[in-house]
Structures are given as C-alpha cells and as structure tokens.
Amino acid sequence: MQNAAFSACNLDYVYIPFAVAPEKLGEAVSGLHALGVRGYNVTIPHKTEIIRYLDGLDKSAEDAGAVNTVLVDNGRMIGYNTDGDGLVCSLAEDLNFVPTMGTIVIIGAGGAARGAVAALCRAEAKRVIIVNRTFDKACALKSDMNQRYPEVFIEAVKMEELNEKYLPYTSLVVNTTSIGMNGDRIEFLNLAMLSKSAKVYDMVYSPLITPLIHEASGMGLMVSNGLGMLASQGERAFTIWTGQTPPKGLMKQFLTGICCS
C-alpha cells in the first residue's frame, strides 16, 4: 500500500519488507542508518525494543511506550506511533464515531491497548473503561494513563463486572487483543447488554470477519474490523516520511483488494 501511494504521488521512494531476528535489531537499525534511508516501520516483536536504538521519541510513541514508525531526519532517528491515531481516524471514517461521543470500553491491556487508550485520550475521550483477562495489567495501564491524561475519566474493570454494570451505558467497544484471529469468541463479553446504538471495533483484520464482528453485526450493531486502522497508520507514516498526504482512501482500497482477492 505504501508503494501504491508513492507511485500515485510520483515520489521516488520504495518500501521493502525485511525480516529481522530479535538479536539482530541493533545491527539492522545501524545498517538502515548507514544506508541513508528516510524512515521505516517496525512491527512485532520490535515495537518496544527499538526505542533504545533511537535518538528521540514523538509524544505519540512516548505515551504508547512503543514505536511503529521511524523518521531519519538530519541523521537523527525519531520514533513515532501512528497506530493509535490510525485507530481514531478509522473510528471516524468507518464507524462515524468521535471519542468525545461517549463511554468507550477497551478490551485488552497490552501494547495495542496502550496506544489506543493514549490516542483516544489525546482525541478528548471523556470516559475509557479498560477490561482485561489479567486485571492487574488493566490497573497498571489505567494508572499510567491517568497520570498522562488526568482530565479523562479512566477505569479498570474486572471481566465479571463489565456486562451488567457498564455495557448498557457504553457507546463503543474496541477489541485490542488477538482473540478472534483464530476464530475464538471473547467469552466474557455479552453483546446483548449493549444498547442498539452502540458500535463495535475489532482491531483484528485477519480474518476480516471475526466472531466478534459476526455476532455484533448479527445483532444489528454498527461494526468495523481493523483494516481501516492498518491503512490509516500507514497514511500517517507516509506523511511523516514524505511531508505529503497520500491520495485519500488509496491504501484502504489497496488492502481491500488484497484481502478480498
């Protein structure tokens, strides 16, 4: 999708994937620097580990505690995180949802959840509820985000408390975990407790229709998978590297073409 956008903008850039073993990350970063690249993406399992090799972090990466995009600027390597803002953008485009609209339930408390909560807070979310299999991790994420964004009401909630106490007043549910990639349901989530106007976002995009998406859309709820977030984080990275905006919707179209062919 990056190459499609470079080509559409007549930019003389190329995007190439490299598989890098964890123990070779430092060498890979030095190599990219020596080659004079403009920037790169990093993904699992390097998103946190990369930080120690960089010269600075943008606030997006600092808050998320993870980097997915690096810009090499005047010899300095700066880490960004475009995942969270990609989510916020996809929520607007795919679900017509803006974070100020109401209570948001975040499922999960790992790296993806951290980036999501931080971006939702930056986008002026009013109330964020974090629910996770391991409650202590939800509490740790809540405390950290509370310190960074004291103006947002953030709560950590136990799985067994979610359905009756919180779901009826929830506007949006976001799954940040990998549950669903292998066809599993989110066992503790009872979608029937949501109001008919609630929306459901699953960051998973492979498969395109997870059990969560299937079940929620079957109940008439507005739903979206994570394809829009994948495209949006890429659009942001594109702009960080090139200073230009890619043609609107091109990356999403490209991904949709791949995923549906």
Which residues of this chain interact with ligand ATR, rule CB under 6 A? Answer: 108-113, 132-134, 137, 176-179
Sheet holding 170-175, edge to edge: 153-157, 127-131, 103-107, 170-175, 199-202, 222-224
The amino acid that residue 167 corresponds to is L
Q: How many CB atoms lie within 10 A of CB 138?
A: 24
Q: Least Å distance between CB 112 and ligand ATR? A: 3
Q: Least Å distance between CB 137 and ligand ATR? A: 4
Q: Let me know if 47 is a catalytic residue.
A: yes
Q: Which of 47, 142, 199, 252 is catalytic?
A: 47
Q: Which residues pair with 79 in a beta bridge?
A: 57, 70
Q: In this complex, which beta carbon is closest to ligand ATR, that of residue 33 or of residue 148?
A: 148
Q: Least Å distance between CB 187 and ligand ATR? A: 8
Q: Least Å distance between CB 37 and ligand ATR? A: 25
All residues at 6 or more sequence positions from 49 whose CB lies less than 8 Å from its CB, including other chains: 22, 25
Q: How many CB atoms lie within 10 A of CB 75?
A: 8
The amino acid that residue 188 corresponds to is F
Q: In this complex, which beta carbon is closest to ligand ATR, that of residue 170 or of residue 176?
A: 176
Q: In this complex, which beta carbon is closest to ligand ATR, that of residue 41 or of residue 72?
A: 41
Residue nearest to ligand ATR (CB): 110
Enumerate the H helices of the chain as residue ranges.
2-8, 25-35, 59-64, 83-95, 111-122, 135-148, 159-165, 211-218, 227-242, 250-260
Q: In this complex, which beta carbon is closest to ligand ATR, that of residue 84 or of residue 228?
A: 84
The amino acid that residue 220 corresponds to is G
**Residues catalogued as catalytic:** 47
